[in-house]
């Protein structure tokens, strides 16, 4: 899995996965989507590091915690496997739509930065093609994109 150019965050995560998968531990890895909710993030300078048309899959903190808790009942099925953990098809949006909704949530008015203020490539968000696999085993998805953006 090649990281984007200059994405040292992704490089570190990939290196840790390699260490864990080569170990003799009983392991499972959950690769987390963007874990977002109105009460668990703040606007910061990082908001300019993604392109406004970037697709992103989101999961709420509650659903993510549910996945970890429910996983304890399925250790044999999960052992030695890597899973992508996201909210699913109903939790996919573009960064621009997500950011505009957050401006509204925080009472900041309309998102009115010029598009050139935002990056055009190389951010570590996306949509998981195989994300439903973990849901089929541990059944953790309850929240919707609408719930996250309200």
- Kindly report, residue by residue over 8-59, the tens digit of the pLDDT: 888 999 999 999 999 999 999 999 998 887 666 677 888 898 899 999 999 9
Q: Quick one: pLDDT at residue 40?
A: 66
Helix H segments across 56-113? Answer: 61-71, 75-78, 95-105
Q: What are the residue ranges spanned by the domains of the chain?
A: 28-148
Q: What is the DSSP string of 24-44?
A: SS--EEEEE-EE--TTS----
The most distant pair of C-alpha atoms in the chain lies apart, rounded to whole Å, by: 52
Extract the tokens encoding 6: 């200059």
d(CA 60, CA 81) in angstroms, rounded, equals 23
**Six token digits for residue 43:** 């606007």
pLDDT at residue 1 is higher than 80: no
Instruction: Decide yes or no: CATH 3.20.20.70 for domain 28-148.
Output: no
Q: At a CB cut-off of 8 Å and minimum separation 6, what does 37 contact?
A: 60, 61, 62, 148
End-to-end Cα, the chain, rounded Å: 34
Q: What's the pLDDT tens digit per position in 51-108?
A: 999 999 999 999 999 999 999 999 999 999 999 999 999 999 999 999 898 888 888 8
Query: What's the pLDDT score for residue 105?
Result: 83
């Amino acid at each position: 899995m090649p990281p984007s150019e200059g994405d040292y965050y992704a490089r570190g995560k990939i290196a840790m996965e390699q260490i864990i998968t080569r170990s003799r531990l009983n392991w499972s890895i959950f690769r987390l989507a963007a874990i977002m909710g109105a009460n668990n993030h703040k606007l910061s300078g990082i908001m300019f590091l993604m392109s406004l048309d970037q697709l992103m899959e989101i999961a709420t903190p509650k659903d993510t915690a549910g996945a970890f808790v429910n996983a304890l009942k399925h250790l044999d099925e999960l052992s030695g496997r890597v899973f992508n953990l996201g909210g699913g098809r109903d939790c996919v949006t573009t960064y621009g739509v997500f950011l505009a909704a957050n401006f509204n949530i925080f009472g900041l008015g309309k998102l009115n930065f010029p598009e050139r203020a935002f990056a055009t490539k190389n951010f570590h968000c996306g949509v998981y093609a195989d994300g439903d696999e973990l849901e089929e085993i541990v059944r953790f998805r309850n929240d919707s994109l609408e719930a996250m953006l309200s």
